[in-house]
Amino acid sequence: MQKTNNNLIIKHFSRKREATALRLLLDVADKRGVSTPHILEGTQVTEADLSDPYFEIEAWQELVAIQNLVERDGDASLGIMSGLQQHLTCYGILGFAMMSCRNLLHALEIAGKFNNISLWINDVDVARHGDTIKFLILGHRLPEYSQNFLATRGMAALVVWVNELIGRAVMPVTCTFKIPKPVDAQEFEKCFGQGIQFGAKQYSISFERSVFAEPLKFRNRWTRMRLENELETTLEKRRSTVSNKVRDLLLNLSDQKLSTEPAVCAALGHSTSTLRRRLQEEDCTFRQIQSEVIHERASQMLLSSTMTIDQIAYALGYSESGSFGRAFKRQAGCSPGAWRKKHTRKFS
C-alpha cells in the first residue's frame, strides 16, 4: 500500500476530537499482535499523552494510526472489532445525553447534532424507506485506505448503540458493503446478521422503523437538557477558530442567498475587514472555505440523492450547470457526473 503524505490529510482533518477511538484502536491492534509504537508512528502522539483522560487529538492523527494498522493487518473486519468496543459510555457526556432521551430517534438526533464531538469521522445520511430507517455511511472525503475500516466501525458502533439504548438485542434488517465478500465473513454475519450484501454501491445499514419510537428506559428530560448544555459548551470550544465558525455557519445555512460574506460577518459580529484579517491569520480565505463547503454539499447530493446535475446546481445557488461543473472540477479534478459514477460504482 502506498504511504499517504500526512501533510495532505492534516489540512482537511484538523478538527479536535476525543482520543477514545484511538485508544480503542490500540486495543484492537494489541489483540492482533501489532505493537503500540507501530500504530502511533507518524501521529505525533505518545503513549504518555494517551494516559491523560483529557488528552485530545486531531482527526488526521487517528487516520494515520488507522493506516498503520491496516498496512500491517489487512483483515476486512478490523473496523467491526473496533466498533463493537464503542459502548455508549465511551462517548462520555454525549453517551449519557443519548441514554436520557425519550426514544431512539431522539437519541440519534442528539448524536447527529453533536457529531463533531463524537467518535465518528464519516458523514451520515439518514432516510426512511417504507418500514425501515436507512443510514448511508459516506466516506468519499476520507483517504481510500480508511474507508472500509471507518464505515464498518461506524456500522458496528450503531448496532451497539441501538442494542444498549433499547436494552435488548436488535439486529439490522439489511447491511450493504462496497468491498467484495471476504473469504471469512463470520465477523460480519455475527455483528450484522444475514441480510448482508457485499460488492454494493454504498455502505449502509437499515433497522425496523418501529424500533426508533420505543421509549428508552433511562429517559429523563431534565438530565438530557443539562447534558446538552454541557455539550454545547464543549462544541463551542472546538469551534474556537474563526475558520471553523465560518464553515459551520455555511454548512447550516439552508438558504444559499444567505451564505455570503456579509451575512457571515453579521452572524459573527465582525466587519468584513476583521473577518478577512482573522482568516488570513489562519492561512485561509472566505472564498476557499465557501468553495470547500459547496463542494462538500455537492458531493453528498451526488452520492445520496437521485437529483440530476442541473437540479444539484440550482439547489446550490448556481444559475446554470456549466458554472457548477467547472467549480466542481477545480475541487475534484473531474466533472460531477464522472465523480458520481466513480464513487457509486461497484467493486469488481
Cell, residue 86: 464503542
Separation of alpha carbons 207 and 173, rounded Å: 5
User: pLDDT of 303-326, one tens digit each?
Assistant: 777 889 999 888 888 888 888 898
User: pLDDT of 42-66, one tens digit each?
Assistant: 888 999 999 999 898 888 899 999 9
Separation of alpha carbons 262 and 275, rounded Å: 10
**Which pTM was predicted?**
0.75
Task: Give the per-residue pLDDT at 16.
Answer: 77
Task: Give the per-residue pLDDT at 160.
Answer: 97
The percentage of the chain sitting over the pLDDT mark of 70, rounded to a whole number, equals 92
2 pLDDT band, cuts 50/70/90, is very low
Kindly list the domain boundaries of the chain, sorted by start residue: 1-74, 79-238, 241-344
> Does residue 342 have a pLDDT over 90?
no
The answer to whether 177 and 196 are in contact (CB under 8 A) is yes
Task: Give the per-residue pLDDT at 224.
Answer: 95
> Does residue 6 have a pLDDT over 60?
no
CATH match for 241-344 among 3.30.930.10, 3.40.50.10860, 1.20.140.10, 1.10.10.60: 1.10.10.60
The answer to whether 299 and 309 are in contact (CB under 8 A) is no
Q: Which residues contact 21 (CB under 8 A, 6 or more apart)?
A: 62, 82, 86, 119
Separation of alpha carbons 259 and 253, rounded Å: 6
